Structure 1
């Protein structure tokens, strides 16, 4: 079948490297080799350990790893992760804190569907949990979704967000990070036109490509240079026989990872070599800095072909969001319909993925939103990941976001009827 052989070839290469690593580690770890002073055995075992872990992580969904938080009473409170709305392509999950009263702040974190799992925002979620009830969009790996589940494109993504917002009710504050920023804005505009009572209280839009042409980056330049036909030919494959989604057209996670790695190949190569030397000296641990980073970075997921291609064509090439010419399920979405939802833009000064100006363009689209409902912040020295994780997020951005949420909370509003939880 077209494109299936290449998908299975990539998986075969990954599986073979994982096997080679495991074999080298096991062989070089035989006790008899400890009698030899030759360091080749320690280096071989170390190379095998790092290689096995590297290639096994590529097909493993990371755990959230948020077991508990310290509550206002100073004691540890266990955290349960519970799906509250379940769909074929993604769930709305709730980080439920035991023995804690309902918090005044209710936050929906909209995570990217751009190659990595929602757990990439683990630091963001963990830092918000002590001060809010947190809900997160948890997107599924397309390779595990049977073809019978149908398509999933940009329209479907927006409609999923609409359903999630309706479920949570109008006292929700939405925080969208990176790729979903323009689609979260579109979902809010859709609700403004179709179901105004279900709109959230506020939107915090962080480092997303609302107008990719506002500030060119390598990502936007690539979208301009490549035709849709070339992109479909180069990037799209069919899921192989190993997974439930066999036959589904996807943009494979392994192919995306190859692109990620090639952008900084020298740095990643040095990190791998350094980790091998540390392992040979017995200086590594399961959760050392290298493993914490690469366990997440290497864990990639497939995107449906229709979602990836429609994102490139509609958001980057045609700029439908930026031109206020976006439709969802055949209905025109007018960003001018947003008149009461407070919107805050957060950008990083050194963001080389969504450069400053791309996200800020959202405020220009909100022609009927009062100026006192608009806010923006440019974080000095912060790169793309720095705006939602790391020192800039912890010390500067997070307090600003929480203050913005509090300033736009007001009195509780009557919630619309909630959706039934579906499988």
Structure 2
């Protein structure tokens, strides 16, 4: 019960700070103060505006905000987001471009379940839409999932990915960004064993911790320093009475956000102090660079406790993927079973989360795949975010990934398209054929 109280206490702290910001903004903006301009009041109003927005965004799910794209015909095409597979812990969604023929390239973008919503990949999706049919794994906030839906760990995550790949057919190219890279590799290998005909054409792994020990970072060192008992005691809480998932054990998004912020505390503090000055001088706007970044960065979601703990224990501590010892429901998944899926790894030379060497380790595990179907790329000036959403992605990495997809595609007339266009109901990955 004390964990539930702690969860509600964090929410109360967030709500109080949002209220303080709104109050400061209202008081300092009282019309009578305009008669005698005072820099202190301007600063107070600016502080209130930035503080209110900051704490408000922590519980708001961002919108995709992709309303249309310009097609090759020069016309604007509206974007409709369709649910292809619906499941308790996450959906498979499709960005349908209205009035456009289906593209030859069909891409499944596997979003991380690491504290942020799938909308973190908004710019990645937008950059792929003109050239691809884009599908995305849209994970749900664990606090909104009733306890009756059951548990969800990395084995369930792997089974979900297998179900999503089955639903889309084998004429598919999978791109996994960051955290899901090891599990996407395992899901592909399991499909290769059970249903070779359901394997995708290619698999691109971007900045993922396939072997965290290959190049240790602060993230991997943290996983080594603490015990599982310490993690469970200090990081896991129960969802409070306000949400549908009341009683569910989670790793709270607010706690994850505090960890994110503490890694670069000085930089974040300077960013917010600079923003307060810009607002006080009237130089800020609703969608300026600061707000665009932090509106997404601050929007966090809770992770199921089982998923968080099993990720730390099995991926980072026991290195089950790196040792090719990962099991799903008692079955050992052999990554060497991948023999027909081309695999490419992408890393950033300045990545301080999944440093170069961690992701490319996947190629050594693919003992059954010819070298001609393996590829790797290290982007010289890119950090972690830049390899999938920044300038480095747009200008350098994205063209390479599209070339890799084209090089491992069959002629359009020979393709086996089985992707459903209508919503498909599903009871969850626990009923998967792979279970």
Q: Above 0.5 in TM-score?
A: yes
In the aligned structure 1, how far is the partner of 2:419 from the partner of 2:139? 24
Q: Secondary structure of 1:212's match?
A: coil
Answering whether residue 425 of structure 2 is matched by residue 422 of structure 1, we say yes
| Structure 1 residue ranges, 4+ long, deviating more than 6 angstroms after superposition | 416-420
Summarize the alignment of residues 198-237 of structure 1 with structure 2, pairs less than 5 Å apart: 198-237=198-237
Residue 98 (structure 2) aligns with: 98
Answering whether residue 342 of structure 2 is matched by residue 339 of structure 1, we say no
Residue 80 (structure 1) aligns with: 80
Do the aligned residues in 1 keep the contact of 2:91 with 2:139 (CA within 8 Å)?
yes
In the aligned structure 2, how far is the partner of 1:199 from the partner of 1:193? 10
Residue 276 of structure 1 deviates from its aligned partner by: 1.1
In the aligned structure 1, how far is the partner of 2:235 from the partner of 2:204? 32
Summarize the alignment of residues 29-178 of structure 1 with structure 2, pairs less than 5 Å apart: 29-178=29-178
Q: Secondary structure of 1:388's match?
A: helix
Q: Secondary structure of 1:394's match?
A: helix
Name the TM-score, length of structure 1 as normaliser.
0.98
1:191-235: CA deviation from partner (whole Å, max 9, x where unpaired)? 001111000000000110011111111111111111000010111
Residue 242 (structure 2) aligns with: 242
Residue 361 (structure 1) aligns with: 361
In the aligned structure 1, how far is the partner of 2:93 from the partner of 2:37? 53
Residue 18 (structure 2) aligns with: 18
Residue 305 of structure 1 deviates from its aligned partner by: 0.3
Residue 37 of structure 1 deviates from its aligned partner by: 2.5
Q: Secondary structure of 1:48's match?
A: helix
Do the aligned residues in 1 keep the contact of 2:168 with 2:419 (CA within 8 Å)?
no
1:265-297: CA deviation from partner (whole Å, max 9, x where unpaired)? 111111111111111111111100110000001
In the aligned structure 2, how far is the partner of 1:323 from the partner of 1:268? 37
Residue 391 of structure 1 deviates from its aligned partner by: 1.2
1:310-357: CA deviation from partner (whole Å, max 9, x where unpaired)? 000110111111111111122211111100000001111111111111
Do the aligned residues in 2 keep the contact of 1:197 with 1:416 (CA within 8 Å)?
no
In the aligned structure 2, how far is the partner of 1:265 from the partner of 1:219? 15
Residue 308 (structure 1) aligns with: 308
Q: Secondary structure of 1:143's match?
A: helix
Answering whether residue 251 of structure 2 is matched by residue 251 of structure 1, we say yes
In the aligned structure 1, how far is the partner of 2:26 from the partner of 2:289? 24
Residue 382 (structure 1) aligns with: 382
Do the aligned residues in 1 keep the contact of 2:82 with 2:94 (CA within 8 Å)?
yes
Of residues 131-140 and 277-286 in structure 1, the stretch that sits farther from structure 2 once superposed is: 277-286
Of residues 299-308 and 23-32 in structure 1, the stretch that sits farther from structure 2 once superposed is: 23-32
Do the aligned residues in 1 keep the contact of 2:86 with 2:423 (CA within 8 Å)?
no
In the aligned structure 1, how far is the partner of 2:152 from the partner of 2:74? 44
Residue 416 of structure 1 deviates from its aligned partner by: 6.5
In the aligned structure 2, how far is the partner of 1:45 from the partner of 1:417? 52
Q: Aligned in 2, Cα 1:264/1:420: closer, same or farther, shift over 3 Å?
A: closer
Structure 2 gaps of 5+ residues are 427-435
Matched residue count: 423
Name the TM-score, length of structure 2 as normaliser.
0.95
In the aligned structure 2, how far is the partner of 1:106 from the partner of 1:414? 12
Q: Secondary structure of 2:22's match?
A: helix
Aligned-residue CA RMSD in angstroms? 1.2
